[in-house]
Amino acid sequence: MSSPDVPNPDPKPEPPVAPDFDQCCGNGCEPCIFDLHDMAMDQYRQALRAWNARREADTARVPREG
């Protein structure tokens, strides 16, 4: 159990905030803010998979009672 005063050394990744539709200027920018969000979501998904794998590995190392 962790103490509330000690920061988590491996916090769960947070998804990026999606832009509002009205934030797009509609001028066909390259990259568009929606393209940037898609790239950030790809990075988030990759980070989340790695975080989940670390948690599963940590759980596998903990001896089970019984």
Residues 1-41: tens digit of each pLDDT: 556 788 888 999 999 999 999 999 999 999 999 999 999 99
Are 31 and 41 a contacting pair, CB within 8 Å? no
In this prediction, residue 63 carries a pLDDT of 67
In this prediction, residue 66 carries a pLDDT of 58
Positive or negative: CA dihedral 58, 48, 15, 36: positive
In this prediction, residue 60 carries a pLDDT of 76
The rounded Cα 15 to chain-centroid distance in angstroms is: 5
Residues 6+ apart with CB under 8 A from 54: 10
Q: Which two tokens stand for residue 40?
A: 């950030």
